[in-house]
Amino acid sequence: MIFFLQSNVALLCVMRVCVSVSAGHPGNGPGPECALPAKQGPSLLQISQLSTLVPQNNMSMPATRVESFCASLCPVEKTSEQVAVVAVMLSVLAVAVVCVSLAHCSRDMAATSGRSSASGAPSRAATIRLDALDGLRTLFTIHIIFFHRHEAYSDSSLWWWSAGDEVSMFFMLSGFVQCLTDLQKGVLFYGRRETLAFFARRLGRLCPAYYAAGLWLRFGFVSCARLLQAIAHFLFLQTLMPVACTDNCCYQGTWLYVNGPGWFVSALLLISLFYPLFYRMLPRGCIMKQCFVLAVVIVLESIQTTMILPNFKTLYFAPVRALTFIIGMLVAQLARSVCALFPHWLHWGRLFDAGMVMSLCLSLATSTTPLQTHPTAIHGMCVTACFTLVCISCVGMAGYDKSGSFLEAFLSCRLLVAASAYSYGAYIYQSAIFKTFDTFKGTSPVPVAVEYFVCNCAPWLCAILSKHFLEDPLNTGLGKMMLGAKQPPDLKSASAGVEAIST
């Protein structure tokens, strides 16, 4: 674990040394809304224009190594549409072949004893339900969709408008639930067969909706025949190259032009490939040791996600987001240890309410001025620490304290919990719905109420259809391919148990 953190810090430090320091206010983020056209040609990336608002006479800056590298990733010339189509379809086919091959290999390979009680009955704690986190994930998805659709029509400096904290909490929840599930099942490590099966299940869970939305956008609305960007998107590689291009043809000037929200899935899948290694590297020892490691990772993650690098989106960089995922894993381990140490404590509900209120207040205080559009490192540390209390107290309520709390009762309502099964699909289909609606709308005026209803409800309807007619049939077939007629638990309904929010 420490080796991974050192490598991650060294990577960003080398990148920061290779570039010149941006002038201006240090708190300004590299948001694309601050980008101005370059004066020295379409291939020269302007550092200060993405990070600060500078005077007109200071806009020209010499190219650096990172600028030259970014320019090489953003070629001006376009490829033919036929070549782009073939490349996209070959990328999808390659991932499908890899998924099926992993499933076959995991079925034919001898099982490795990676659990302390592989044949034993599951314990009572292994069947706990985290309905409050299910409902919270639904609300996060609703807010993110609303933000992505209506940010163009609202003041981006509004202090309540940012949705960045919700995305970070998504990564944290993914690591938290996956690790908690394995800890509750008594998994000691992942053997070769378990690792291959895990990879196949992750591909089967994330790829169908991701590819359906990507193909919908690529062949329906995205007119730019960018070969490298298309291949990167359909191979889940865009979060390894989150650079800002000077060509306005790309989505917000970055490599995310095919399906912008898909960067979350790309980062999550790349991180999941290293999950068995991260799980083996979890700190073993007393609670104080676990708390110390968790605090160090929180500090490093908060610093790296708020670093200002020229034309490089650290928020979209998969190795940086891996730290957020690891935080969730460490919180799951700490939650299990703390709840076992205080089995009869009856105030988990109050701790859950307090953590939720503090997290909400800190999220609302993300931005207060037009120039401070990105949270600081201290803000990230505080929000992560408060959400850590939320996750730990949720486990305590589910396993021991049945009294619950006011917010837990609201978040655990049936509507929010049931909708959480479709939150991933609603998130990934939102851009396709937006572009489809804008195409049919054209220049004709549409009532605001109709636009709000269609653009915020249609992604959920599309997610329902996709889950029942695309994702579930494919996942069922994949499960039978790996384990015969028996379907693995994490391929069932997302609200079945603790696996409810594995993505």
Give pLDDT, residue 162. Answer: 63
The DSSP annotation for 363-426 comes to HHTS--STT--S--HHHHHHHHHHHHHHHHHHHHHHHT--S--HHHHHHT-HHHHHHGGGHHHH
| 135 and 51 co-located in one domain | no
| 437 and 310 co-located in one domain | yes
Give the chain's domain count: 2
Cβ neighbours of residue 10 closer than 8 Å, sequence gap 6 or more: none
Three-state SS for 288-354 is: HHHHHHHHHHHHHHHHHHCCCECCECHHHCHHHHHHHHHHHHHHHHHHHHHHHHCCCCCCHHHHHHH
| 110 and 48 co-located in one domain | no
The pTM assigned to this predicted structure is: 0.78
Structural domain of 396: 81-501
Rounded to whole angstroms, how far apart are CA atoms 204 and 471? 8
- Which has the closest alpha carbon to 183: 355, 395, 384? 395
Confidence tier at 140 by pLDDT (50, 70, 90): very high
pLDDT in tens, 174-224: 999 999 999 988 888 898 889 999 999 999 999 999 999 999 988 877 655
| 150 and 250 co-located in one domain | yes
- Which has the closest alpha carbon to 128: 426, 496, 503? 496
| 226 and 271 co-located in one domain | yes
How far is Cα of residue 281 from the mean position of the Cα atoms in its chain? 22
List residues bridging with 244 in a β-sheet. 254
| 276 and 374 co-located in one domain | yes
Domain boundary among 18, 46, 73: 73
Q: Give me the phi and psi of 116, to 5 degrees please.
A: -70, -30
The mean per-residue pLDDT over the stretch 241-258 comes to: 57
- Yes or no: say if 459 and 83 are a contact pair by the CB < 8 Å rule: no
Give pLDDT, residue 218. Answer: 83
Place of tokens 């049939």: 473
Q: Above 80 in pLDDT, residue 77?
A: no
| 167 and 67 co-located in one domain | no
| 168 and 66 co-located in one domain | no
Domain boundary among 40, 73, 106: 73
The mean per-residue pLDDT over the stretch 377-389 comes to: 89
Domain boundary among 52, 73, 94: 73
Buried b (16+ CB within 10 A) or exposed e, 425-447: bbbbbbbbbbbbbeeeeeeeeee
Give pLDDT, residue 482. Answer: 83
Give pLDDT, residue 252. Answer: 46
Q: Above 70 in pLDDT, residue 30?
A: no
Helix (H) or strand (E) segment spanning residue 268: helix 263-272
Give pLDDT, residue 36. Answer: 33
| 427 and 472 co-located in one domain | yes
Buried b (16+ CB within 10 A) or exposed e, 120-142: eeeeebeebbbbbbbbbbbbbbb
The mean per-residue pLDDT over the stretch 163-169 comes to: 82
| 303 and 419 co-located in one domain | yes
* Mean pLDDT lowest among 35-44, 312-321, 336-345: 35-44
| 24 and 126 co-located in one domain | no
| 349 and 440 co-located in one domain | yes
